Structure 1
Amino acid sequence: MHRSSRGAVLDHVARRVPELSGGDCPRVAIDGPDGAGKTTFAAELAAAVRLLGRPVTSVSLDDFHNVRAVRYRQGRDSPLGFWQDSFNYPRFRSDVLDPFVPGGSRRYRPAGHDLDTDAVLDPPWRTAAPGTVVIVDGLFLHRDEIGDAWDLSVFLEVPFETTARRMAQRDGTNPDPAHPGMRRYVEAQQIYFAACTPQQRADILIDNEHPGEPRIVRG
């Protein structure tokens, strides 16, 4: 598919979100490497879904990190540690994914950890309206622990050379993906790609190297 306007791609994805019976809530994953544009895409997708008259709630896996002692137990520079220890999947499943299984309670909590303070969070439970579209953005969303949860999944494909430059602008990291300071992130993604082939598992694969003109590769 040729490059298209961002609005057209977002509308295409929004219309692909299934409408489930019985007021069940479709769960939508926006996956991709660090710097791929997941958070922005998820927010704009939420707006596109609302334009179709559907209720939406948005959650980020970034709000379900493990505490620092767990995240860095294999070393602060370890790619394997980043891949294995970054996120609290049991908590994310219990607080976000399980409430939205077919016939689920729709009673969820949108966060479990504050990355800045390292505090474990227990915010009040929220109850989503029947049929709410649950949009989740985050890393590694097609890994085995949670990959079976999605009613629709998107992978944003962007070369590491581009994501490293975006991360440098956002986080102040080195813009060269081959720099030792980027090893933890880049090699963790390579582990993920080899173990889970998210580009193949995703229902929709989007080339997001040029955010203003994304390209639907598949789906």
Structure 2
Amino acid sequence: MRARPISPDLLVEHLAETISALPRGPRGTGTRVAVALDGAPPTRTGELAERLVEALRLRGRQAVHIAARDYLRPASLRLELGREDPDVFYTEWLDLKAIDREVLAPIGPGGSGRVLPRLWDAEADRAYRAQYVELGPDGVVLVEGALLLGVGLAFDLTVHLSMSAAALGRRIGAEDAWTLPAYQRYDEEQQPVETSDIAVRCDDPRHPALVTRD
């Protein structure tokens, strides 16, 4: 595999064009599309999602940004075995059933098109009072966050923002350093650089590089 440098602006344009060209709906059977922007927090998946919302709007496509951190499970379940258990973080923190129920299933064939942008406030440990968003027939949901691949979520396009172990160790906050073994396990078990539809090297998010597979 090789990495081709690309500016952040051109990366957004490339992804927006790729998303716009997708067959509509899960595996091409519906009208709306779901995109995963997968990466550890230092890769800035949220910033990319926000820029893509605007880039898609300019192309006449309605897009909704869904942050995986707003779909965490309640603290009683996440922290049952302790606050800093990397294995539990890897397998138990995300509420995958809720993401499927409130985000992915509604945009699939026969779905209502009504998606819930956020479900659970992890800091307050209570549900958000968020309103459902009606996604039009050509709408896009952008689900961004960490550890999204290989867990049974049905996306039409998967984008992985990759960061080397050394870069991640330097850039992750001290309060989150305990999660590093989870990201290492994820890379080893899911191999997201190889299995994602698009991989982007983001050791320095200001200077991304598109990964090409030989």
TM-score (norm 2): 0.87
CA contact (8 A) 1:143 1:192 kept: no
Q: Which residue matches 1:28? A: 35
Q: Which residue matches 1:162? A: 167
Partner of 1:2, secondary structure, is strand
- CA shift for structure 1 position 121: 3.5
Q: Which residue matches 2:197? A: 203
Distance 1:156 1:133 in 2: 19
More moved, 102-111 vs 20-29: 20-29
Partner of 2:4, secondary structure, is coil
Kindly tell me the number of residue pairs found equivalent between the two proteins: 206
Distance 2:129 2:188 in 1: 35
- CA shift for structure 1 position 13: 1.0
CA contact (8 A) 1:26 1:100 kept: yes
Structure 2 residue corresponding to 1:9, chosen from 11, 33, 42: 11
After the TM superposition, which residues 170-189 of structure 1 pair with which residues of structure 2 at under 5 Å, given as runs? 173=174, 182-183=177-178, 185-189=179-183
Distance 1:189 1:196 in 2: 10
The runs of 5 or more residues in structure 1 that have no matched partner are: 175-180
Percent sequence identity over aligned pairs: 26
Q: Which residue matches 1:177? A: none
CA contact (8 A) 1:142 1:196 kept: yes
The runs of 5 or more residues in structure 2 that have no matched partner are: none
Distance 1:191 1:162 in 2: 16
Cα-to-partner distance string for 1:22-76 (whole Å, 9 max, x where unaligned): 8711101100123111111111122222222211111111101111111111222
Distance 2:139 2:50 in 1: 15
CA contact (8 A) 1:33 1:139 kept: yes
CA contact (8 A) 2:115 2:132 kept: yes
Q: Which residue matches 1:178? A: none
CA contact (8 A) 2:43 2:163 kept: yes
Partner of 2:211, secondary structure, is strand
Tell me whether 1:124 sits opposite 2:122 in the alignment.
Answer: no
Q: Which residue matches 1:87? A: 94
More moved, 22-31 vs 7-16: 22-31
Distance 1:193 1:95 in 2: 27
Q: Which residue matches 1:150? A: 155
Distance 2:131 2:64 in 1: 15
Distance 1:211 1:196 in 2: 22
- Report the aligned-residue RMSD: 2.0
- CA shift for structure 1 position 200: 1.7
After the TM superposition, which residues 104-143 of structure 1 pair with which residues of structure 2 at under 5 Å, given as runs? 104-121=111-128, 123-143=130-150
- CA shift for structure 1 position 9: 1.4
- CA shift for structure 1 position 166: 3.2
- CA shift for structure 1 position 2: 2.8
- CA shift for structure 1 position 122: 5.3
TM-score (norm 1): 0.86
Cα-to-partner distance string for 1:165-207 (whole Å, 9 max, x where unaligned): 4333xxxx26xxxxxx723x11111222222222222100001
In the TM superposition, structure 1's runs of 4+ consecutive aligned residues that sit over 6 Å from their partners are none
- CA shift for structure 1 position 145: 2.6
- CA shift for structure 1 position 113: 0.4
Q: Which residue matches 1:41? A: 48
